[in-house]
Amino acid sequence: MQVSITVNGNQRTDEVEPRLLLAHYLREVRGLRATNIGCDTTSCGACTVIVDGLSVKSCTVLAAQADGAEVTTLEGLAAADGELHPVQSAFREEHGLQCGFCTPGMVMAAIGLLADNPDPTDREVREGLEGNLCRCTGYHNIVRAVRTAAKAGAAAGRVPQGRVEA
């Protein structure tokens, strides 16, 4: 079947298997490796991307379901001049990563969270990111990074904003 999906501003039509997951489409068909696959069950959140303004776990969305959609991955966040998105900058400044495997999903989930709640408390950040797992940290720096991004006005960033979807 054919799907036409705009990814990071680049629209393209591709022939895909009807059962192909969006996560695999992004990695294998479009060559975007930041969308990590950790569980295929929505448990870890490493595959989180923005689809039509909503933060979604791409391991349980079929590419066919994204036909006609606009998808943003971590690769699409930075400006053309290389300036990082405010959430990316905050994760770097606050050391909100260690091995980096969960980082793309955490960043994308944080963007969705901040779209709904531009000034979350620590507790609200923890609750908003509870579907994204990090096996390396105690989440303190991740929470601090999201709060720093909120203070920097990340909700007004360059990505279509929306509510968080599991």
- 6 & 70 share domain: yes
List the structure tokens of 78. 């930075």
- 26 & 49 share domain: yes
Residue 136 phi, psi dihedral angles, 5° rounding: -105, -30
- Amino acid (one-letter) located at 25: Y
**CATH value at residue 102:** 1.10.150.120
- 56 & 93 share domain: no
Residue ending a domain, choose from 39, 74, 109: 74
Residue ending a domain, choose from 74, 102, 123: 74
* Domain of residue 55, residue span: 2-74
- 108 & 50 share domain: no
As for how many domains the chain has, the answer is 2
Contacts of 122 (CB under 8 A, 6+ apart): 143, 147
- Give the global pTM: 0.90
- 47 & 96 share domain: no
- 69 & 103 share domain: no
- 98 & 149 share domain: yes
Please report whether residue 81 resides in a domain: no
Contacts of 20 (CB under 8 A, 6+ apart): 29, 62, 63, 64
Q: Does the pLDDT at position 9 exceed 50? A: yes
- 63 & 92 share domain: no
Angle at 34 between CA 29 and CA 39, to 5 degrees: 85
- 61 & 109 share domain: no
101-142 pLDDT tens trace: 999 999 999 999 999 999 999 999 999 999 999 988 779 999
**CATH value at residue 16:** 3.10.20.30
32-76 pLDDT tens trace: 999 999 997 889 999 999 999 999 999 999 999 999 999 999 999
Please report whether residue 12 resides in a domain: yes
Check: CB of residue 135 under 8 Å from CB of residue 36.
no
Write the DSSP string, 36-99: --S-SSSSS-TTEEEETTEEEEGGGSBGGGGTT-EEE-GGGTS-TTSPPPHHHHHHHHTT--SS
